[in-house]
Amino acid sequence: MLASIGVNFSKGDKEKSQDAAKQQPSRPRQNVPAKVEATSRRISTDSESEFRPIRTRYISNAIAIPDSFLTSAPVAPVTLRHVPFASSEIPEYAGCLAVSLDNVLSPEECQQLLTLAEASVPMEDGVESPWRPALLNIGVGWEMVATDVRNNDRIIWDEQTVVDRLWQRCLNAEGLKDLMSRTPKDNQGLSGRWVFERVNNRMRFLKYTPGQYFKPHCDGAYHCANDDGKECQTHYTLHLYLNDSAKESALGNGHLGGATSFLSHDERRRLDINPKAGSVLIFQHKGLYHEGETVVSGTKYTMRTDILYRWESN
């Protein structure tokens, strides 16, 4: 049975992306790194028999975003396809919204974005890579290591200019603006409605190498207030794939594994979305159980953010 708060995991593990409530693991973990000290980007761990919550903060270098970056027309038409739940092995999700957009970025723009993200990380003495182990969010400002749930590296970069330009590229897809004007919580007898606000400025760049994964879960909503003090909440996840899987590569030389897989609640049935460089997958948080499939070979790069809506009372 799936829980209802944060990001919901199989077998009781729960996470909220950027924002979660509490973590209540339902099974023992084996020698999980427990004590984590995070100062801006650097993380050190002591391996103990149980984990402990740690307070984290993320800071970034000021990066000059080139005026030409993502401001020109896409190199090919941006096309929109609905994820075909009704005709798949998981038809119970037919009423859920999930769409894929092709050609949002070119492969060269994907590489440029990765380069900018890596440059955003303040490097410390003795640290050779900007990538750090991804932690599991368990509350606002609190995280922990839980490699039995997620095992990958991450860069966090807050930059509204980039996500605004990315969203303008996405809006080249016919029908997307209208689709995103609605949320899964519309038409529920509420005394108001959720109105599109912006794409969340927090970009989570994710790197998966062979054997790494993100176990089955449902994404949780991020809550905040806008500059006018109005309540805001995310309703949709936005995934930008930054390189090809082997199944989507024209030359067949991409990474093996690493699909975004929508799953039945018993995890016996699935629908795979295979990463393609420059494509975007948008799907509702509510009720869509999914995983980041284990990478078998090669390296997978992706960027995740989400879409914020503000509450407007009637």
pLDDT tens track for 135-171 = 888 887 889 888 999 999 999 999 999 999 999 999 9
Identify which has the larger pLDDT, 123 or 199.
199
pLDDT 10s digits, 247-268? 998 887 899 999 999 999 999 9
Helix (H), strand (E) at residue 179: helix 176-179
pLDDT band at 241; cut points 50, 70, 90: very high
User: What does the pLDDT look like over 95-120, one tens digit per residue?
Assistant: 999 999 999 999 999 999 999 999 99
Pairing label, strands 280-284, 98-102:
antiparallel
What pLDDT score was predicted for residue 45? 42
Q: Which CATH superfamily is domain 80-313 in?
A: q2cbj1_9rhob like domain (2.60.120.620)
Look at residue 6 in the predicted model and tell me its pLDDT.
39
Going from N- to C-terminal start, the domains of the chain cover: 80-313
CA–CA gap between residue 265 and residue 138 (Å, rounded): 22
The answer to whether 247 and 64 have CB atoms below 8 angstroms apart is no
CB 32 within 8 A of CB 53: no
